[in-house]
Amino acid sequence: MRATLPGFAFGAALVAVLGVQSPPAAAFQATTVPTDIQQPGTQPQEVPDLISSLNCDNCHAGYDAAVEPSTLWRGSMMAHAGRDPLFWATVAVAEQDFDGSGDLCLRCHLGEGWIAGRSTPTDGSAMLDDDAVGGVSCHLCHTLTDPDGSEHLGVQNAPFLAHDEGTPPEAYLGSGMYVLWPTNERLGPYDDAQAAPHGVIQSEFHRSSALCGTCHDVSNPAVGDLAPHHGAMVPLAAGTYSGVPGTPVDGKAAFNNPPFRYGVVERTYSEHVLSTLTTKRISEYPTFPPELKHGAIEQAFLAAMAADPSGDYVDGTPRTFTCQACHLPPVTGKGAKQNQAPVRSDLPWHDMTGGSTWMPAVLLHLDDQDDLLLGGPLTAAERSALQSGASRASALLDSAARLEVSGNTVRVVNLTGHKLISGYPEGRRMWLRTTWRDSVGGVLRVDGEYGTLQVVHDGAPLAVETLLDLADPHARVYQGKPGVSQEWAAKLLTVGVPGTLPLEYDRTTGAVTRTLGELAAAAPGTAWATFRFVLNDVVVSDTRIPPWGMPYDGALERSVLPVPDTQYGNPGPGGVFDHWDEVVLAPPPGAATASIELLYQSTSWEYVQFLCLANDGTNAFLGSAGEELLEAWLATGMAAPEVIATADWDGRSATVPQSSAGRPRRITVRSP
């Protein structure tokens, strides 16, 4: 249900302040999506219900598991976005903090249910198992149109226009503001698909990174409209936001600004479009800087050249280093099982994996326990695909970075088309672990040590695995830390958010160490990191490595600057950031050798602990989501970090040889 009247916001406290009453059963599950959360684009029930991806298996699976789209998609987290327990645990806390905010999450993770009108109540309790089975479904992606209307006209009705109405219009790309094609045709890169039970329309948009930007730039429309600085590094212009809870949508920030300008949550697409890679044709690879001719960039080049010697698409369309170049690289095979389906040398390999090597194990574990919130039980095909997807994700991580050692300096080179690391920042981190040894191999010191920490949870002792010293001066940690500003905290108190709201817990005892009220009373300009993503309005720190060629000015505009912005070459306005980090090593006395490892962890103990403790248990559907996530985390290796690159230091040698990432990512397929 959509409305342009004042709605629910910031939990029951703000609802009361606004004079809008919700029934007791609707606590933390709004039955009307607040205008502060609504966004442009196709709205629920404006197009026919999306068709289950199971229907796609009839043609796109069961003939060649190495290349068939359905099987590869099923091994990605796209397919399981609606089952993901980390997602559900996060939604539970978000709904407590801003009643109705779950709609922002459901529109991407359970698109079939959202389009069908099942995102209210906004805690997801009206979603069906079939919605979770679909996740980010085949039909959803293959009905996407460019919101600017330049190619195909999808459904978007005023005031829900996902562009700025300019001449020409600028598309709003982000936060699931999709604009969908309304009839039975499927949109894709080819104009010669044969014997399909549905029509086919060729779409240039499906070869563009902009399509991926639909969901892989995420902005919080509530913070964008209501927070003092709009959750942006450059505050919004006056008149492009309301600043008042519950006012009509046409005055809101999300309806008057592109999503990259406000409410920063994650910015993978923005990071990518700011990279030099987006301007480069595949054929230009030989001219690249030497340190970039490795890993994911090299593999994208080799895959494209194998598809066509020009490096372009077979039909002559120029091929650049898009998102698809790495995440849907070309392979040789058939896109459907029909005999008349052509064998293509540039068939998009529907891999679509990222860094999720741990979550497939969690889903399999929960399925074994019959504990999936939605979408269970997994089929044998889904279980097999998940295991294959985890292996592909591990190989992708191995291609993301390169370590180079010279003297006492190690250089970490970003080989991706976005920040290293990228994506949703909460709980994700990457760091250097350096093990120093003496001349006989004895360990002298470990910088960035990962190991066992004794904690207390629910009054009982618990051993968890984590980065042991979060303040280790010798460990270089790469992560983004969003948080809440003092100005926003003070405003939240005025609309009824309790000052006792925890912002941080002690990671060993679980005791509350910081509250919203304490932040509100701090000096102006103060900001504290917290995992309360739906309230976060500032980036407290961001040490992730920029991609090749990221300009300072564009990064400022899109709120993706390193924080502080003096990192990575300190280019300043008009300059360009380095795409590497150089770390000066500090050998302990007596050190003869050292092994250096770059580790990536997708979900930390600190984040899992927060999602467990911050869930107050009052929501009937999600009240146990945090505890269930913790149980699964403990049972599946605690999201143990992946070693994604290694190097050696030898203090006995005048010249130290460089070492790069370990095993390369290989796409091994067979032609039909």
Contacts of 395 (CB under 8 A, 6+ apart): 663, 664, 665, 666
Residues 184-237 have pLDDT tens digits of 999 999 988 866 789 999 999 999 999 999 999 999 999 999 999 999 999 999
Residue 229: C-alpha distances to residues 127, 175, 222, 271 (Å):
34, 19, 12, 21
In our burial notation (b when 16+ CB lie closer than 10 A, e otherwise), range 333-342 reads bbbbbeeebe
pLDDT digits over 288-321, tens only? 999 999 999 999 999 999 999 999 999 999 999 9
Distance CA 519, CA 436 (A): 40
Q: What phi and psi, each to the nearest 5 degrees, are found at residue 406?
A: -140, 115
The whole-number pLDDT of residue 27 equals 54
- Residue 121: asked if its preceding bond is cis (omega within 30°), the reply is yes
Report which residue type is found at 372: L
Q: How far apart are CA 514 and CA 654, in angstroms?
A: 49
Is the pLDDT reported for residue 119 higher than 50? yes
Least confident piece of the model among 8-22, 90-104, 337-351? 8-22
Q: Is residue 274 a contact partner of residue 419, using CB atoms and an 8 Å limit?
A: no
Instruction: Name the band, by pLDDT with cuts 50, 70 and 90, for residue 77.
Output: very high
H helices, E strands: number in the chain: 20, 23
Tokens of 127: 């979603």
What is the percentage of the chain residues whose pLDDT exceeds 70?
93
CB 95 within 8 A of CB 22: no
In the predicted model, what is the mean pLDDT of the chain?
93
SS3 452: strand
User: What are the distances in angstroms from CA 296 to CA 189, 401, 426?
Assistant: 23, 8, 24
3-state secondary structure 469-535: CCCCCCCCEECEEEEEEHHHHHHHHHCCCCCCCEEEECCCCCCEEEEHHHHHCCCCCCEEECCCCCC
Could you read off the pLDDT of 443-466 as tens digits, one per residue?
999 999 999 999 999 999 999 999
The predicted pLDDT at position 7 comes to: 33
Q: In whole angstroms, what is the distance from residue 224 CA to residue 536 CA?
A: 10
Of 19-23, 74-78, 376-380, 587-591, the poorest mean pLDDT is in 19-23
Among residues 555, 597, 607, 605, the alpha carbon closest in space to that of 576 is found at 555
Contact present, 488 and 540 (Cβ < 8 Å): no
pLDDT given for residue 451 in this prediction:
98
> In the prediction, which pLDDT does 197 show?
82
- The tokens for 390 are 């985890």
CA-to-CA separations, 503 to 148, 481, 515, 519, in angstroms, rounded = 39, 13, 5, 9
**Angle at Cα 119 formed by Cα 197 and Cα 25, nearest 5°?**
150
Radius of gyration (C-alpha) of the chain in whole angstroms: 24
CA distance readout (Å), 337 to 314, 328, 487, 629 = 21, 19, 58, 39
Q: Please check whether residue 647 is in contact with residue 596, taking contact to mean a CB–CB distance below 8 angstroms.
A: yes
- Residue with structure tokens 């009247």? 5
Query: Quick one: pLDDT at residue 193?
Result: 80
pTM: predicted TM-score of the whole model, two decimal places? 0.94
Distances (CA, A) of 349 to 314, 352, 491: 15, 8, 48
> What mean pLDDT comes out for the span 348-371?
96
Q: What is the pLDDT of residue 6?
A: 31
Using DSSP bridges, classify how beta strands 527-529 and 480-485 pair: parallel, antiparallel or unpaired.
antiparallel
pLDDT in tens, 178-196: 999 999 999 999 988 866 7
Which secondary-structure segment (H or E) carries 212? helix 209-216
3-state helix, strand, coil in the chain (%, to 5): 30, 20, 55
pLDDT digits (tens, 9 = 90+) for 16-28: 333 333 333 345 7
Distance between CA 648 and CA 595 in Å, rounded? 5
Q: Which of 230, 292, 305, 226 is nearest to 264 (CA)?
A: 230
- Write the DSSP string, 77-100: TTTTTTT-HHHHHHHHHHHHHSTT
Tokens 């593999």 -> residue: 299
CA–CA separation, 253 and 236 (whole Å): 8
State the pLDDT confidence band at 666, using cuts at 50, 70 and 90: very low
Residue 24 confidence (pLDDT):
34
Query: Band of the pLDDT at 29, cuts 50, 70, 90?
Result: confident
Contact criterion met (CB below 8 Å) for 424 and 266: yes
The answer to whether 504 and 530 are in contact (CB under 8 A) is yes
pLDDT for residue 16 = 38
pLDDT in tens, 625-639: 999 999 999 999 999
Type and span of the H or E element at 355: none
CA distance 285 to 311: 10
CB atoms within 10 A of CB 451: 10
Predicted local distance difference test score (pLDDT) of residue 195: 65
Query: What pLDDT sits at residue 667?
Result: 41
Determine if residue 16 is left, alpha or beta; phi over 0 gives left, psi from -120 to 50 gives alpha, anything else beta: alpha
CA distance 189 to 346: 10
